[in-house]
Structure 1
Amino acid sequence: MTGGIGCVQCGTRSNPCRCKVVGPTLGVLAFAVAAIVEWPVGAVVYLFRHTKGRRIMGHPSTVVYPKVSNSIPI
C-alpha cells in the first residue's frame, strides 16, 4: 500500500510487528532513481536488441525494489 508519507507492507514475518515501513519506502525511492536512469537506456537498447532492452527496463522492478525492500526488516 502506498500512502502520502511512505509505503506499508503488513503480513510479513521478517519482524515481530509483522509490518514493514522503512524497507518498502526506501525500495520505492530506489526504484524511482533506477528507473530514471535505466528506462531511457533500455529504450535505446530496445531499438537494436529487443530482449536486452526489455530486461534493462524491467531491472528496477525485478531486482532493485525487492533487494532494497527485503534487506531492511522494519
Structure 2
Amino acid sequence: MNNQQVNSQIIDAITQSNVAVLGMAPAMAMGNLYQTMANSVAMASINAVYAQQQANIMHQAATAKSVEMLLSLQKDM
C-alpha cells in the first residue's frame, strides 16, 4: 500500500456528498411510501369499479331472464 496523503479538498467533497445522500434518504423513503400508497388506492378503486360492473351485468341478466319468464307466463294464459 502507498502511504500517500489524500488532498483534504477531496476528503471534504466526498464527505459532503455522503452527507447529502444521507440527508435525502428520509425524503426519498417518504416519496416512495406515498407513491406506493397512491398506487394501492388506485388499484383498490379499479377493483371496486370492476366488481361493480360485473355485478351490474349479473343484475341485468337476472332482470332480463325474469322479464322473459313473466312474458312466457302470459302466453300460456
**Do the structures match in fold with TM over 0.5?**
no
TM-score after normalising by structure 1: 0.32
Q: Which has the larger radius of gyration?
A: 2
TM-score after normalising by structure 2: 0.31
Structure holding more strand per residue: 1
Which is bigger in relative contact order (C-alpha 8 A, separation at least 6)?
A: 1
Structure holding more helix per residue: 2
